[in-house]
A = this chain, B = another copy of it.
């Protein structure tokens, strides 16, 4: 029932739409940590909603080194794009133990054909992933090692805060420094040194699977973090109308 309650990443969905999606869930499962769910090239017949835990999407290079291309938090529709695309260009795995719900693609087909508005909102939800990809491109292309790690911590802080898993000053992040290196395109050794420098500058501490942010302003400055690309909306999406800006009437 409260299955998707945490889900505010898909802030684009109304309560009713979320409920419809919920009814379409075929199966719930617990996956172990560090399990591969989908391999690059696989064909999908259902999509996966992450309920609890952390998952990543990644691409391997020739030597088998991973580049992580997306990091998923509870409430994310991990591979909704698998519905229009059918076949995935990347692999999907858990980092931690994860609780998931799967939605068959034919259920999605029925839902989207019945409700064009829902369809567009699901479309938008996959586009948020694309926006995040772009910001990651910026991170890898324009930031130095410290900036990349800071940016990831700041981004994750904002995302987790939106779902109530961070108070803005710290959050649990049960991943290794090697995971961080695969996210930031660095070596794990260098990540370790970056972490030390962030610690010594009293910016933030990553230790025992937890990020403690001591100076959020500085962290976000080092990472040149500007959260607009997350398209986060104020938490109570199904209560208050969005106070962001007046919508151009849609012509409906």
- How far is A142 from B184 in the complex, measured between Cα atoms in Å? 10
Asked whether, in the complex, the Cβ of B67 is within 8 Å of the Cβ of A142, the reply is yes
Asked whether, in the complex, the Cβ of B119 is within 8 Å of the Cβ of A112, the reply is yes
Asked whether, in the complex, the Cβ of B133 is within 8 Å of the Cβ of A67, the reply is no
194-252 of chain A: CB within 8 A of chain B: 224, 228-229, 231, 245, 247-248, 250-251
The residue from B81, B116, B247, B250 contacting A130, defined by CB atoms under 8 A apart: B81
The answer to whether the Cβ of A27 comes within 8 Å of any Cβ in the partner chain is no
The answer to whether the Cβ of A85 comes within 8 Å of any Cβ in the partner chain is yes
The residue from B124, B129, B185, B251 contacting A141, defined by CB atoms under 8 A apart: B185
Interface centre among A45, A62, A130, A224 (most CB of B within 10 A): A130
The answer to whether the Cβ of A97 comes within 8 Å of any Cβ in the partner chain is no
- How far is A12 from B185 in the complex, measured between Cα atoms in Å? 33
The answer to whether the Cβ of A19 comes within 8 Å of any Cβ in the partner chain is no
The residue from B61, B137, B142, B245 contacting A65, defined by CB atoms under 8 A apart: B142
119-173 of chain A: CB within 8 A of chain B: 119-121, 123-124, 126-131, 133-138, 140-143
Asked whether, in the complex, the Cβ of A45 is within 8 Å of the Cβ of B248, the reply is yes
| Nearest-neighbor residue (CB-CB) of A85 within chain B | B127
75-99 of chain A: CB within 8 A of chain B: 81, 83-87, 89-90
Asked whether, in the complex, the Cβ of B69 is within 8 Å of the Cβ of A137, the reply is yes
| Nearest-neighbor residue (CB-CB) of A110 within chain B | B251
| Nearest-neighbor residue (CB-CB) of A182 within chain B | B141
The answer to whether the Cβ of A32 comes within 8 Å of any Cβ in the partner chain is no
Interface centre among A57, A69, A112 (most CB of B within 10 A): A69
Contacts of A57 in B (CB 8 A): 134
| 7 sampled A-B residue pairs with Cβ under 8 A | A57-B134, A62-B224, A84-B121, A112-B116, A119-B123, A126-B130, A142-B185
Chain A positions near chain B (C-beta within 8 angstroms): 12, 41, 43, 45, 57, 59, 61-62, 65, 67-70, 81, 83-87, 89-90, 106, 109, 112-113, 116, 119-121, 123-124, 126-131, 133-138, 140-143, 184-185, 224, 228-229, 231, 245, 247-248, 250-251
Extra pairs beyond A116-B119, A130-B130 (5, CB < 8 Å):
A43-B245, A67-B142, A84-B124, A106-B250, A130-B133
